[in-house]
């Protein structure tokens, strides 16, 4: 992609970009998958997104309906090409349609991220609680480990209660049609784990070995008028949970990484302490950044506020959608539209001020970024696979976002290293009083 820039009024930078035909093709390919995902269309193996969209949605020209997505894909590459960091996502200026097989020219007006200053660059002071490790956490972890190897075995017959277990035979049909995926000749069923709806489990309570019961119930969330599920349950045997003892035999069978019980405790303890130290450091990083933000001076434009608020709103909507929680329900639980909107604006300001304050430290200390700094930012984003995180961001034209994140993380860690830290059992708020 060829990109030129010129400065225009009000500090704006206008980019003129020309995407090559191969880049246009890649933009459409990505846009096709994005469009299908947004419409809930799965692309079967052996099919292209265009084929899936035509089959499922009747769309014969996927390029025409995914033009904006293709353009949106190209914009960050133009920004990154000039090593710019925008204050908020820029909007492209389009004079011609984007077409596969043709060079695509467009313009982008970028508002560069402003440089703010702080009232002081002296080390910050924070008061933190001591880092104490509770050995009982090791016992809890080992008990959870033993629980994961628990078995259910036959016991004396007794009525099932809300946390009981039994081996059952189950026949399920709906409208006279057998539902094979729910039927079984004999499997352990544990009440209280939410494996089946509450109405199903209520019918099991009080049953004992040898009992047979037939009943019907409606599936939660089923469309109005849908036939209920008809069930026949036979209790084959009552069962009890048996948790194995974590002894040498257990270690040899299930824990090849440990020699004996003591070495297992050591492994668990070291892992828990490492997690606690990482959480402790994250807490300190947050505290020094919050303290630094008090020194911020300057005025943040409404456009930047609104862009950050919109980003936070999108993140909330996406997270709720993944959890299956209606957005309106969530907003109501937060106190309604006004309260939720105020919460977002407060959060937006906090994030913006903190980020700009860290930017100021980065500049003031004349820091630079190297490859390890970039990877450190990627590890913060995706501890399990930082390399993939880097590849995805750079591959999507988001390298400037990665550089910004890396710079702020480096400044934050430098800030912590030079901070005046007081360790106190007394909470900081109470101490101030």
What confidence score (pLDDT) does residue 255 get? Answer: 87
Residue 432's Cβ-count burial label (10 Å; 0-12, 13-18, 19+) is: exposed
Q: Is 3.20.20.70 the CATH number for 2-110?
A: no
pLDDT band at 424; cut points 50, 70, 90: confident
What confidence score (pLDDT) does residue 221 get? Answer: 75
Q: Which CATH superfamily is domain 117-131+259-432 in?
A: Trigger factor, C-terminal domain (1.10.3120.10)
Which tokens hold the place of 269?
A: 């303890």
pLDDT band at 432; cut points 50, 70, 90: very low
Q: Is the pLDDT of residue 192 over 60?
A: yes
Chain segment 324-364, per-residue pLDDT in tens: 888 888 888 888 888 888 888 899 999 999 999 999 999 99
Rounded-to-integer distance, Cα 231 and Cα 183, Å: 9
Q: Is the Cα dihedral 124, 127, 129, 130 positive or negative? A: positive
Distances (CA, A) of 50 to 40, 57, 73, 304, 400: 14, 10, 18, 37, 31
pLDDT band at 427; cut points 50, 70, 90: low
Average pLDDT, rounded, for the chain: 90
Distances (CA, A) of 305 to 147, 407, 408: 49, 21, 19
Taking the domains of the chain in order of start, what are their residue ranges?
A: 2-110, 117-131+259-432, 151-242
Same fold, 2-110 and 117-131+259-432: no
Rounded-to-integer distance, Cα 290 and Cα 229, Å: 55
Chain segment 379-409, per-residue pLDDT in tens: 998 988 999 999 988 888 888 899 999 999 9
Least confident piece of the model among 180-194, 271-285, 417-431? 417-431
CATH number belonging to domain 151-242: 3.10.50.30
Residue 433's Cβ-count burial label (10 Å; 0-12, 13-18, 19+) is: exposed
Strands 177-178 and 104-110: unpaired
**CB 261 within 8 Å of CB 243:** no
Rounded-to-integer distance, Cα 167 and Cα 188, Å: 4
């Amino acid at each position: 992609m060829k990109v030129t820039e010129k400065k225009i009024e009000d500090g704006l930078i206008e980019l003129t970009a020309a995407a090559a035909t191969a880049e246009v093709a890649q933009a459409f390919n990505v846009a096709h998958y994005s469009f299908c995902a947004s419409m809930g269309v799965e692309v079967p193996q052996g099919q292209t997104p265009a084929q899936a969209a035509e089959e499922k949605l009747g769309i014969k020209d996927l390029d025409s309906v995914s033009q904006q997505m293709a353009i949106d894909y190209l914009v960050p590459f133009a920004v990154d090409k000039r090593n710019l960091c925008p204050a908020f996502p820029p909007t492209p200026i389009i004079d011609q349609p984007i077409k596969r097989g043709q060079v695509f020219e467009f313009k982008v007006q970028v508002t560069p991220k402003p440089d703010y200053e702080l009232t002081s660059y002296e080390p910050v002071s924070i008061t933190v609680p001591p880092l104490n490790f509770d050995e009982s956490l090791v016992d809890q972890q080992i008990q959870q480990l033993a629980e994961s190897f628990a078995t259910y075995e036959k016991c004396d017959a007794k009525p099932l209660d809300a946390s009981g277990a039994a081996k059952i035979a189950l026949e399920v049909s709906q409208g006279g049609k057998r539902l094979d995926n729910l039927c079984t000749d004999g499997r352990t069923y544990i009440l209280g784990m939410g494996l089946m709806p509450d109405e199903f489990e209520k019918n099991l309570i009080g049953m004992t070995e040898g009992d047979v019961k037939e009943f019907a119930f409606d599936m939660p969330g089923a469309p109005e008028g849908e036939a209920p599920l008809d069930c026949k349950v036979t209790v084959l045997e009552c069962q009890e949970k048996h948790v194995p003892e974590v002894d040498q035999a257990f270690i040899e069978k299930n824990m090849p990484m440990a020699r004996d019980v003591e070495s297992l405790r050591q492994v668990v303890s070291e892992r828990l302490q490492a997690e606690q130290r990482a959480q402790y450091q994250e807490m300190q990083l947050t505290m020094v950044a919050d303290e630094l933000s008090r020194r911020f001076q300057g005025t943040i434009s409404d456009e930047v506020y609104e862009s950050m608020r919109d980003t936070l709103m999108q993140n909330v909507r996406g997270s709720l959608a993944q959890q299956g929680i209606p957005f309106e329900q969530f907003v109501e639980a937060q106190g309604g539209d006004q309260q939720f909107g105020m919460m977002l604006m407060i959060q937006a300001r906090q994030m913006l001020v903190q980020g700009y304050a860290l930017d100021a430290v980065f500049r003031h200390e004349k820091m630079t970024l190297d490859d390890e700094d970039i990877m450190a930012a990627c590890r913060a984003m995706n501890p399990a696979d930082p390399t993939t995180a880097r590849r995805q961001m750079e591959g999507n034209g988001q390298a400037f976002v990665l550089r910004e994140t890396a710079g702020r993380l480096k400044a934050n860690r430098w800030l912590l290293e030079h901070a005046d830290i007081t360790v106190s059992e007394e909470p900081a708020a109470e101490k101030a009083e």
